[in-house]
Chains A and B, each alone.
Chain A
Amino acid sequence: DVKVTQSSRYLVKRTGEKVFLECVQDMDHENMFWYRQDPGLGLRLIYFSYDVKMKEKGDIPEGYSVSREKKERFSLILESASTNQTSMYLCASRDPQGPEAFFGQGTRLTVV
């Protein structure tokens, strides 16, 4: 079974803090994604990566950056957390040969 593991289920951070969300997948997938999920808005793509050290902006990249130093790990960075970044963050990986994306359990981030 494909496994996508996010480092934290719940996080509480203060405004202005630098926040790191970590994601690891074990199926050697090239493509990895970070989404945020908000009620009524569904999943919105923040960033994605199709290879090590490669990244592309998604629909809402402002206030975020990413890092992919190893194929299995994709990190989302909030440079200076703000309250409007309170959300559920979902990491996913995808094999280019098939349509299915595999998701982690999500990290519920609260910025106070």
Chain B
Amino acid sequence: QKEVEQDPGPLSVPEGAIVSLNCTYSNSAFQYFMWYRQYSRKGPELLMYTYSSGNKEDGRFTAQVDKSSKYISLFIRDSQPSDSATYLCAMSVGDYKLSFGAGTTVTVRA
């Protein structure tokens, strides 16, 4: 079993829709929960991170962590074509190595 599971999609939505992405994990020691965004032919860039449980909002993006269920989510409201990318969840124990999900490819249709 992989340490971090993420449905690779692909996911295609119309402009303005809500995009919902999620990951599950098995290591209860994870403390940092991150979402990276990767555009085609580029390296991943950090979008948001949460320490321990709870919600975090940044503009159109909301990250949620439910440690009791070992489940994290990312929501993108009012999605735009510029949001088309691969979204990777990542987790770590402190400053130790990052463990990544497979990534979900999202296409927002204009």
Q: Interface on A for B, CB 8 Å cutoff?
A: 4, 31, 33, 35, 39-45, 48, 58, 90, 92, 94-101, 103-106
Residue numbers in B under 8 Å from A4 (CB-CB): 43
Q: Which residues of A contact B100 (CB under 8 A)?
A: 35, 42-44
Verify if B107 is at the interface (C-beta below 8 Å from A).
no
User: CB distance A99 to B88 under 8 Å?
Assistant: no
Q: Does B46 contact A (CB under 8 A)?
A: yes
* Bound CA–CA A104/B43 (angstroms): 6
A42 and B43 form a contact (CB under 8 A): no
A91: min CB distance to chain B, Å:
8
Count, A-B residue pairs, CB within 8 A: 60
Chosen A-B contacts, 19 in total, with CB atoms closer than 8 Å, are A33-B97, A33-B98, A41-B102, A42-B102, A42-B103, A43-B103, A45-B97, A45-B99, A48-B97, A92-B98, A97-B95, A98-B95, A99-B32, A99-B49, A101-B90, A103-B43, A103-B45, A104-B43, A106-B42
Chain B contacts of A103 at CB under 8 A?
43-45
- Tell me which residues from 39 to 61 in chain B have a Cβ below 8 Å from any Cβ of chain A: 41-46, 49, 51
A100 to B44, CA, bound (A): 11
Would A42 and B92 be within 8 Å (CB), given that A4-B43, A33-B97, A103-B45 are in contact?
no
Q: How many residues of B contact A (CB 8 A)?
A: 24
CB distance from A95 to the nearest CB of B (A): 8
CB contact between A40 and one of B45, B49, B90, B102 (< 8 Å): that residue: B102
The residues of B with any CB-CB pair to A shorter than 8 Å are: 4, 6, 8, 32, 34, 41-46, 49, 51, 88, 90, 92, 95, 97-103
Contacts of A33 in B (CB 8 A): 97-98
Closest to B101 in A: A42
Nearest A residue (CB) for B50: A99
A33→B101 CA distance, assembly (Å) = 16
- Nearest residue in B to A94 (C-beta to C-beta)? B95
